[in-house]
């Protein structure tokens, strides 16, 4: 405040080089007003939306702000794609999940990091008849659903040869065909 009249009225801005600062009139709080590109916050300690890091090293070593890193599984038109400090991805798309959108979300399987969207995460689509407890989740990597006894296929949609009655929901039953009257 340069109007008080003492030689120490003006103080150096507590901001990184190049930034200006201002005193908020009501609270007398000092805030930086022109933080370096990509940074924001009272002391330029935060990254802009869409970036993450710790530009002043407040929680460890200095990490300059860089763009959210989410395995190309975020939409550039979205806002708030990652946590501004940790970089944790908050808006994974293409049925991905995880801190860096690096795995498939529940009920999906495949390679979240695949280059093509069509190769990313596919729905488990487990057969409700052939799957234990009608679960809708599967192995995240292979996509194998957890099949009831004598049920086969990735999605538990068929009976083993020599078995029938998938629809029972209790696993498939042996055919019990008479070997004399059957073709094989």
Partner 1 sequence: PDPNISPLPPGSHILFAQSGRIEYIPLEGHNLKKNEAKTALHLPEKVVIGIAFDCMEKMVYWTDISTPAISRASLRGGEPVHIITSDLSSPEGIAIDHVGRNVFWTDSMKDRIEVASLDGSQRLVLINTDLVNPRAILTDPTNGYIYWADWNRDAPKIEMAYMDGTNRRILVKDDLSLPNGLTYDPQTSLLCWADAGTHKVECMNPQQGSRRQLMEGIQYPFGLTTDGKSLYYTDWTRRAVVVVDRHARQEVDEFQPQKQTRLYGITTAHAHCPSGQNYCSSN
> Binding residues for partner 1, how many (CB under 8 A)?
27
Q: Is 117 left (phi over 0), alpha (psi -120 to 50) or beta?
A: alpha
120 touching partner 1, by CB under 8 A: no
34 touching partner 1, by CB under 8 A: yes
33 touching partner 1, by CB under 8 A: yes
Closest distance of CB 43 from partner 1, Å: 8
Interface with partner 1 in residues 88-107 (CB under 8 A): 91
Task: Count Cβ atoms within 10 A of the Cβ of residue 179 and give its class: 0-12 exposed, 13-18 middle, 19 or more buried.
Answer: exposed
The residues with which 96 forms a beta bridge, in sequence order, are 104
23 touching partner 1, by CB under 8 A: yes
Dist. CA 106–CA 98, nearest whole Å: 11
Return the structure tokens found at 3: 């109007």
Closest distance of CB 115 from partner 1, Å: 18
Strand, helix or coil at 171?
Answer: coil
* 38: nearest Cα among 14, 59, 23, 18: 18
Closest distance of CB 62 from partner 1, Å: 19
Closest distance of CB 3 from partner 1, Å: 12
> What residues make contact with partner 1 under the rule CB under 8 A?
20, 22-26, 31-35, 37-38, 40-42, 46, 48-50, 75, 77-80, 84, 91
């Amino acid at each position: 405040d340069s109007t008080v009249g003492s030689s120490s009225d003006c103080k150096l801005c507590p901001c990184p080089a190049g930034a200006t600062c201002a005193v908020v009139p009501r609270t007398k709080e000092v805030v930086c007003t022109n933080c370096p590109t990509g940074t924001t916050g009272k002391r330029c300690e935060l990254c802009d939306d869409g970036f993450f890091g710790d530009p002043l090293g407040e929680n460890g070593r200095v990490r300059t702000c860089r763009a959210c890193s989410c395995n190309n599984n975020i939409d550039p038109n979205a806002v708030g794609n990652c946590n501004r400090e940790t970089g944790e991805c908050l808006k994974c798309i293409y049925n991905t999940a995880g801190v860096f959108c690096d795995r498939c979300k529940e009920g999906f399987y495949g390679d979240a990091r695949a280059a093509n969207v069509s190769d990313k995460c596919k729905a488990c689509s487990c057969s409700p008849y052939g799957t234990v407890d009608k679960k809708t989740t599967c192995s995240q990597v292979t996509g194998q659903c957890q099949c009831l006894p004598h049920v086969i296929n990735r999605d538990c949609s068929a009976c083993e040869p020599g078995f029938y009655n998938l629809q029972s929901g209790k696993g498939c039953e042996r055919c019990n065909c008479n070997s004399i009257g059957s073709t094989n």
